[in-house]
């Protein structure tokens, strides 16, 4: 059934209105209400064209169940994360499809501790309720509260963490919701250039996913204006991708290295797509490293389990004990500014100790119902000849510098591949082997 494909590993996403619509979101909200059996809920949304209508449908469903609903309106997922983790609500729903193309939308679901509800962490039970229950449009009569005032809690938190700085930078808001809250923290205190700030669900400037292509405008501005760094938010602003002063796009493991080192973190959580040298380098400094599957659900839960100080993903989501273990792109920005201010250096200079080899990351489109089977077949092939980690997909370690990861995306019908080596010719060799295997397995599967 096509509809059930909207239940992803750690959230719900689909194409609007083909796979998701107001009627489906009404029923999903009813399923959440039954699962949590709560009395209060926090609801927000990003700036996508369909978000407001979907949010209103969710709110109506919860009001019909007698729930007191706090509607924070347009809000970044960073701010929503902060608010839901304060434990003031029984559960929360953020309407967003994050970095997906404009015709997508979805919802992120949270429990009363701010834990992310993904498959294996409660989403499968919500899915079961959604499939099997016949919900009546009963109108018990809940209460709708304008929750816009709650955003000030995040503003106040961030202002306390901000440091006075002469660091010069540029911010690309990608026509998403990142300017909400953050501009109040930065205005009149920092020397920065803002681009693509207007919220527009058509994403006219570039796609809502920060990538080499979509970051070209930001990279040029940083170099032309001789800035210390640049940063780009994705559509819902829970992800922040940095560009150094030379216009190079900085990978998530590089930034987490900076945070781990300069914040004197003792325990660090990263996902499996980090290079082997990340763990080796930080372990040599006496730090404890924990690897997880890719995805916020796994990062957050592992951080809480081990009481970690920081965590991160290669895609540049960053998590902190200070933010109740939630990802916060705004806090990440302030931390980087404080590091550069303290060191009196540009971003490229503070990263000199953590050099990268040559690397590529790309994706291959495959049928949704084939991608996991293909990964299993790849495991059988590569484990014969190489050291292999199977935390998430298949991570083949040839040396500290030469390695690759192949994993099925949790949000798209694609297989993602990361390859790193000191030599470009080896990258091409690995890529050819990997691509041939994937194409062969995909064509042979019925």
CATH of the domain at 301: 3.40.120.10
User: What residues make up the domain containing 392?
Assistant: 358-444
Res. 1 pLDDT band, cuts 50 70 90? very low
Residues 182, 303 within the same domain: yes
Task: State yes or no: pLDDT of 278 exceeds 90.
Answer: yes
Sheet holding 394-397, edge to edge: 358-365, 414-421, 403-408, 394-397, 387-389
Q: Domain ends where: 110, 126, 151? A: 151
| pLDDT, mean of residues 164-170 | 95
Residue 111 in tokens: 């429990």
Do 252 and 321 lie in one domain? The reply is yes
Same domain, 284 and 192: yes
* CATH code of the domain covering residue 372: 3.30.310.50
If asked whether residues 219 and 271 sit together in one domain, one would say: yes
pLDDT of res. 4: 54
Q: Which two tokens stand for residue 350?
A: 């503070």
Q: How many domains does the chain have?
A: 3
Residues near 169 by Cβ (< 8 Å), separated by ≥ 6?
Answer: 190, 191, 192, 193, 222, 227, 228, 229, 230, 231, 337
Q: Is residue 157 part of a domain?
A: no
* Residue % of the chain over a pLDDT of 70: 99
Comparing 423 with 294, the larger pLDDT belongs to: 423
61 exposed, middle or buried (CB, 10 Å; 0-12, 13-18, 19+)?
buried
Residue 134 and residue 173 in one domain: no
Residue 2 pLDDT > 50: no
Residues 246/187, Cβ–Cβ less than 8 Å = no
Q: What is the mean pLDDT of the chain?
A: 94
Residues 242-246 have a mean pLDDT of 98
In a domain, 158, yes or no: no
Examine the domain organization and report whether 127 and 170 are in the same domain.
no
Residues 123 and 99 in one domain: yes
Q: pLDDT tens for residues 207-236?
A: 999 998 999 999 999 999 999 999 999 999
Residue 272 and residue 128 in one domain = no
177-197: pLDDT as tens digits = 999 999 999 987 899 999 999
Same domain, 215 and 343: yes
**What predicted TM-score, i.e. pTM, was given to this entire model?**
0.92
Task: Give me the mean pLDDT over the 43-64 stretch.
Answer: 98
Long-range Cβ contacts of 425-434 (<8 Å, 24+ apart): 426/402, 427/358, 427/359, 427/360, 430/404, 431/360, 434/378, 434/404, 434/406
For the segment 298-338, what is each residue's pLDDT rounded down to a tens digit?
899 899 999 999 999 999 999 999 999 999 999 999 999 99
* 294 lies in the same domain as 409: no
Confidence of residue 371 (pLDDT cuts 50, 70, 90): very high
| 386 and 399 Cβ atoms separated by less than 8 Å | no
Instruction: Look at the block and give the residue holding tokens 């559509």.
Output: 235
Least confident stretch, 13-27, 86-100, 252-266, 347-361: 347-361
Q: What's the pLDDT at 5?
A: 80
* Residue 52: band (very low, low, confident or very high) from pLDDT cuts 50, 70, 90: very high
Report the first-to-last Cα separation within the chain, whole angstroms: 17
Q: Is 399 marked active-site?
A: no
Whether residue 143 is found in the same domain as residue 181: no
Task: Please say if the pLDDT value at position 29 is more than 80.
Answer: yes
Q: Which of 350, 375, 407 finishes a domain? A: 350
Angle, vertex CA 125, rays to CA 308 and CA 129, nearest 5? 150
DSSP strand pairing (310-312 vs 318-320) = antiparallel
The reply to whether 280 falls in a domain is: yes
Residue 186, sorted as left (phi over 0), alpha (psi -120 to 50) or beta, turns out to be alpha
Backbone φ and ψ of 214, nearest 5°: -75, -15
Tens of pLDDT, residue by residue over 63-112, are 999 999 999 999 999 999 999 999 999 999 999 999 999 999 999 999 99
Is residue 121 domain-shared with residue 195, that is, in the same domain?
no
Which among 320, 350, 380 is the end of a domain? 350
Residue from 98, 260, 279, 316 carrying the catalytic annotation: 98
């Amino acid at each position: 059934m096509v509809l059930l494909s909207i239940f992803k590993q750690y959230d719900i996403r689909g194409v609007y209105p083909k796979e998701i619509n107001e009627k489906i979101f009404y029923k999903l909200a009813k399923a959440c209400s039954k699962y949590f059996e709560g009395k209060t809920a926090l609801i927000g949304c990003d700036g996508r064209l369909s978000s407001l209508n979907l949010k209103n449908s969710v709110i109506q469903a919860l009001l019909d169940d007698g729930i007191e609903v706090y509607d924070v309106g347009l809000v970044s997922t960073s701010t929503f994360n902060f608010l839901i983790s304060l434990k003031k609500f029984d559960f929360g729903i953020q309407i967003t499809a994050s970095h997906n193309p404009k015709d997508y939308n979805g919802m992120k679901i949270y429990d009363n501790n701010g834990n992310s509800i993904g498959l294996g962490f409660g989403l499968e039970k919500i899915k079961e309720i959604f499939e099997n229950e016949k919900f009546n449009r009963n109108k018990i009569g809940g209460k709708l509260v304008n929750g816009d005032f709650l955003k000030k809690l995040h503003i106040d938190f961030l202002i306390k963490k901000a440091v006075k700085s002469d660091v010069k930078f540029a911010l690309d808001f990608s026509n998403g919701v990142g300017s909400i809250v953050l501009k109040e923290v930065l205005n009149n205190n920092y020397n920065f250039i803002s681009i693509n700030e207007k919220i527009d669900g058509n994403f006219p400037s570039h796609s809502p996913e920060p990538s080499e292509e979509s970051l070209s405008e930001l990279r040029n501005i940083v170099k032309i204006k001789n800035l210390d760094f640049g940063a780009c938010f994705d559509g819902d602003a829970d992800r922040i991708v940095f560009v150094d002063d030379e216009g190079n796009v900085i990978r998530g493991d590089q930034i987490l290295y900076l945070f781990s080192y300069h914040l004197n973190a003792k325990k660090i959580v990263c996902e499996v797509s980090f290079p082997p040298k990340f763990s080796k380098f930080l372990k040599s400094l006496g730090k404890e490293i924990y690897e997880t599957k890719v995805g916020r659900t796994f990062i957050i839960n592992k951080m809480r389990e081990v009481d970690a100080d920081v965590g991160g993903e290669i895609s540049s989501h960053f998590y902190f004990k200070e933010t109740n273990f939630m990802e916060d792109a705004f806090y990440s920005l302030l931390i980087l500014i404080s590091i550069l201010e303290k060191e009196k250096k540009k971003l490229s200079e503070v990263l000199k100790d953590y050099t990268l080899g040559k690397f590529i990351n790309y994706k291959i489109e495959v049928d949704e119902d084939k991608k996991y089977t293909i990964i299993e077949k790849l495991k059988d092939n590569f484990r014969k000849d190489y050291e292999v980690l199977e935390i998430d997909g298949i991570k083949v370690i040839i040396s500290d510098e030469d390695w690759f990861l192949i994993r099925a995306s949790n949000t798209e019908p694609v297989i993602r591949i990361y390859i790193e080596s000191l030599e470009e010719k080896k990258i091409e060799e690995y890529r050819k082997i990997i691509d041939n295997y994937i194409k062969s397995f995909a064509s042979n599967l019925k």
